[in-house]
């Protein structure tokens, strides 16, 4: 334990910032937030990852008498957080399930003796009567609820234990509370305020725009080669992160880049701890390293000069996409957020949702998150304004720094194409009682006499060959966009195509629903790769 008079009775927040944390000045609205909470007010803070949320509760905890109690679901990070604080001379401790009895008893004793400035708690602790009685007997300066979106059932990260947190307001009405999150849409924000009973809380909403990041989403045809071209032509020798969905793809992509002269390392949860730590520290230390990783990589990574973040697979939600792309350009210099996305991504993500654990309501939520992500991918409008609108922020459109602004995509009337496609699906199902994936449907539409077409006698169907006016690639684009618009669905492990409730509106003879589709860009010549 360090000196108890680290912070004297009437310390000013800015003195604490300088003396304890060693920073010159507050960032953004940190000062306003800190002063509001020090003054006893409740706050709801929405700030992007890396924006500096921690100081917003750490400084009030140091300035006000008693210990700040921080509720966080990130149990694995608590030890590190406490170590880092103790390094600065702050008296911190935590209570969670990773501790043994002796550690717990010692932390409780220190809290009751007034020897702690900060106490981190796992949310499930508050379900225990013992924890509440402990808090009753000690002095709490402020309650901080980190990752507050976990209380929202509509959110992407709901944790039932968070619902119990409303007990804090009932039991300790005069202790200020500050709820913080990086990922809150207007609906989630309302839900947080309601469930945590933050009726009188002031809302502090930071600007989510990252003007130096250029957002681009390209159709996926040969993702590794497309990536290599991006690195060679736009970011040679620069640091970046490449996200992939599976560990196997992480390995393959890292090898591919390395064999093409790019300094690339893999990172995923299947690597042993030592290798992961080694790769991470090389990425932070060295210049021009490319980390190929699953989303296991990135939490707490604060490297300023990441020049690009590339997604070779579709993220599950806009929150995830925003958080991952947000690791680019922390230094404010121009950076790229590039993603390759194709039909297979939609099929794969839907399959993951179908096979996911949890109840039907949970799957529906996952489905909605995916739909929002798909809408961002297929939009013909400014990506940035779509992205910011998702977080409830108005943005001037066009931004001039995203692909749709820089080269506006064309769109076409895809109603007839959609009808051809949907009627092929209908016929196979009604006349033959068969379901197929995109590949076979496209072969039928284009009138290809493949062995599989022969085998199933699909050349006899009346729709055989009615779609010869479009290329394979264009048909894949039609299917992808119909999936994104909910006019078509995939099911099962083989990604078979089936109709949705809305498909009928497109197929109706009289007054069919008009389907507008984005024109598929012409395939660009590929960069040379081994």
Binding site for Zn ion (CB under 5 A): 382, 384, 398-399, 402, 405
Looking at the DSSP assignment, which residues form a beta bridge with residue 179?
44, 145
**CB-nearer residue toward ligand ADP: 52 or 367:** 52
Residue 267 interacting entry, from Zn ion, ligand ADP, none, C-beta within 5 to 8 Å by type = none
Residue 53 interacting entry, from Zn ion, ligand ADP, none, C-beta within 5 to 8 Å by type = ligand ADP
Residue 372 interacting entry, from ligand ADP, Zn ion, none, C-beta within 5 to 8 Å by type = none
CB of 81 to ligand ADP, least distance (A): 9
CB of 149 to ligand ADP, least distance (A): 13
Please state the φ and ψ torsions of residue 427, each to the nearest 5 degrees: -60, -45
Please state the φ and ψ torsions of residue 101, each to the nearest 5 degrees: -55, -45
CB of 271 to ligand ADP, least distance (A): 25
CB of 273 to ligand ADP, least distance (A): 22
Residues across the chain: 530
Residues 6+ apart with CB under 8 A from 338: 216, 217, 218, 230, 308, 309, 310, 311
Residue 49 interacting entry, from ligand ADP, Zn ion, none, C-beta within 5 to 8 Å by type = ligand ADP
Residue 329 interacting entry, from ligand ADP, Zn ion, none, C-beta within 5 to 8 Å by type = none
Yes or no: say if 422 and 499 are a contact pair by the CB < 8 Å rule. Answer: yes
Residue 26 interacting entry, from ligand ADP, Zn ion, none, C-beta within 5 to 8 Å by type = ligand ADP
**CB-nearer residue toward ligand ADP: 33 or 228:** 33
- Residue 436 CA, chain-centre distance (Å), reads 32
Residue 27 interacting entry, from ligand ADP, Zn ion, none, C-beta within 5 to 8 Å by type = ligand ADP
Q: Rounded to whole angstroms, how far apart are CA atoms 233 and 101?
A: 57
**CB-nearer residue toward Zn ion: 402 or 484:** 402
Count CB-CB contacts under 10 A for residue 56.
26
- Residue 282 CA, chain-centre distance (Å), reads 24
CA-based nearest residue to 482, from 404, 406, 412, 417:
417
Say which residue the tokens 């310390």 belong to. Answer: 11
Q: Rounded to whole angstroms, how far apart are CA atoms 530 and 525?
A: 15
CB of 187 to ligand ADP, least distance (A): 21
CB of 184 to Zn ion, least distance (A): 23
**CB-nearer residue toward Zn ion: 120 or 341:** 341
Q: Rounded to whole angstroms, how far apart are CA atoms 37 and 340?
A: 43
Residues 6+ apart with CB under 8 A from 404: 379, 380, 381, 382, 383, 398
CB of 20 to ligand ADP, least distance (A): 12
Residue 50 interacting entry, from Zn ion, ligand ADP, none, C-beta within 5 to 8 Å by type = ligand ADP
| Local structure of 335: helix, strand or coil | strand
Yes or no: say if 64 and 30 are a contact pair by the CB < 8 Å rule. Answer: no
**CB-nearer residue toward Zn ion: 129 or 407:** 407
Residue 143 interacting entry, from Zn ion, ligand ADP, none, C-beta within 5 to 8 Å by type = none
Residue 437 interacting entry, from Zn ion, ligand ADP, none, C-beta within 5 to 8 Å by type = none
**CB-nearer residue toward ligand ADP: 53 or 518:** 53
**CB-nearer residue toward Zn ion: 268 or 384:** 384
Q: Rounded to whole angstroms, how far apart are CA atoms 356 and 519?
A: 33
In angstroms, the Cα distances linking 79 to 95, 101, 193 are 10, 16, 29
| One-letter-per-residue 3-state SS of 443-473 | HHHHCCCCHHHHHCCHHHCCCCCCCCCCCHH
CB of 311 to Zn ion, least distance (A): 18
**CB-nearer residue toward ligand ADP: 324 or 474:** 324
CB of 27 to ligand ADP, least distance (A): 4
| One-letter-per-residue 3-state SS of 109-166 | HHHHCCCCCEEEECHHHHHCHHHHHHHHHCCEEEEEECCHHHHCCCCCCCCHHHHHHH
Binding site for ligand ADP (CB under 6 A): 23, 26-27, 30, 47, 49-55, 302
User: Which tokens hold the place of 166?
Assistant: 């409303």
**CB-nearer residue toward Zn ion: 179 or 399:** 399
**CB-nearer residue toward ligand ADP: 30 or 404:** 30
DSSP label at residue 521: P
Residue 54 interacting entry, from Zn ion, ligand ADP, none, C-beta within 5 to 8 Å by type = ligand ADP
Burial class (CB in 10 A: 0-12, 13-18, 19+), 44: buried
**CB-nearer residue toward Zn ion: 213 or 484:** 213
CB of 455 to Zn ion, least distance (A): 48
Count CB-CB contacts under 10 A for residue 342.
20
Burial class (CB in 10 A: 0-12, 13-18, 19+), 510: exposed
CB of 529 to ligand ADP, least distance (A): 36
Residue 331 interacting entry, from Zn ion, ligand ADP, none, C-beta within 5 to 8 Å by type = none
Cα angle: 232, vertex 235, 241; to 5 degrees: 105
Yes or no: say if 250 and 294 are a contact pair by the CB < 8 Å rule. Answer: yes
**CB-nearer residue toward ligand ADP: 51 or 495:** 51
């Amino acid at each position: 334990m360090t000196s108890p008079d680290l912070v004297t009775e009437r310390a000013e927040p800015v003195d604490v910032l300088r003396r304890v944390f060693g920073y010159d000045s507050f960032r953004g609205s940190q000062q306003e937030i800190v002063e509001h909470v020090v003054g006893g007010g409740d706050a709801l803070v929405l700030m992007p990852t890396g924006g500096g949320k921690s100081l917003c509760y750490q400084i009030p905890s140091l300035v006000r008498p008693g210990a700040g109690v921080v509720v966080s679901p990130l149990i694995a990070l608590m030890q590190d957080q406490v170590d880092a604080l103790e390094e600065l001379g702050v008296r911190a401790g935590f209570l969670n399930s990773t501790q043994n009895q002796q550690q717990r008893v010692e932390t409780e004793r220190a809290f009751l003796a007034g020897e702690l400035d900060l106490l981190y708690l796992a949310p499930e602790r508050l379900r225990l009567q013992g924890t509440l009685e402990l808090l009753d007997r000690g002095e709490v300066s402020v309650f901080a609820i980190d990752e507050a979106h976990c209380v929202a059932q509509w959110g992407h990260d709901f944790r039932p234990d968070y619902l119990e947190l409303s007990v804090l307001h009932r039991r300790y009405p005069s202790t200020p509370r500050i709820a913080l999150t990086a990922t809150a849409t207007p609906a989630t924000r309302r839900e947080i305020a309601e469930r945590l009973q933050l009726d009188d809380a002031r809302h502090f909403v930071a600007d989510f725009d990252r003007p130096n990041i250029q957002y681009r989403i390209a159709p996926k045809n040969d993702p590794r080669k497309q990536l290599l071209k991006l690195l060679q032509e736009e970011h040679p020798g620069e640091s970046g992160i490449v996200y992939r969905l599976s560990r196997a793809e992480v390995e393959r992509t890292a090898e591919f880049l390395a064999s093409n002269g790019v300094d690339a390392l893999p990172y995923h949860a299947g690597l042993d701890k030592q290798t992961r730590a080694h790769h991470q520290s090389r990425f932070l230390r060295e210049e021009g390293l490319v980390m190929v990783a699953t989303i296991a990589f990135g939490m707490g990574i604060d490297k300023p000069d990441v020049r690009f973040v590339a997604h070779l697979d579709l993220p599950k939600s806009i929150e995830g996409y925003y958080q991952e792309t947000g690791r680019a350009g922390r230094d404010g210099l121009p950076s790229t957020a590039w993603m390759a996305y194709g039909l297979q991504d939609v099929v794969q993500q839907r399959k993951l949702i179908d096979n996911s654990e949890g109840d039907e309501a949970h799957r529906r939520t996952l489905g909605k998150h995916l739909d929002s992500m798909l809408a961002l991918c297929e939009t013909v409008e400014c990506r940035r304004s779509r992205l910011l609108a998702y977080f409830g922020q108005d943005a001037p459109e066009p931004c001039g720094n995203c692909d749709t602004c820089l080269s506006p995509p064309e769109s076409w009337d895809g109603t007839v194409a959609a009808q051809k496609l949907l009627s092929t699906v209908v016929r196979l199902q009604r006349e033959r009682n068969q379901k197929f994936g995109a590949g076979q449907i496209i072969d039928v539409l284009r009138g290809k006499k493949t062995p599989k077409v022969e085998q199933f006698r699909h050349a006899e169907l009346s729709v055989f060959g009615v779609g010869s006016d479009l290329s394979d690639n264009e048909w894949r684009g039609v299917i992808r966009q119909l999936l994104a618009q909910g006019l078509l669905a995939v099911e099962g492990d083989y990604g078979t195509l089936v109709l949705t409730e809305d498909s009928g509106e497109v197929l109706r003879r009289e007054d069919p629903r008009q389907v507008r589709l984005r024109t598929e860009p012409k395939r660009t010549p590929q960069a040379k790769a081994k």
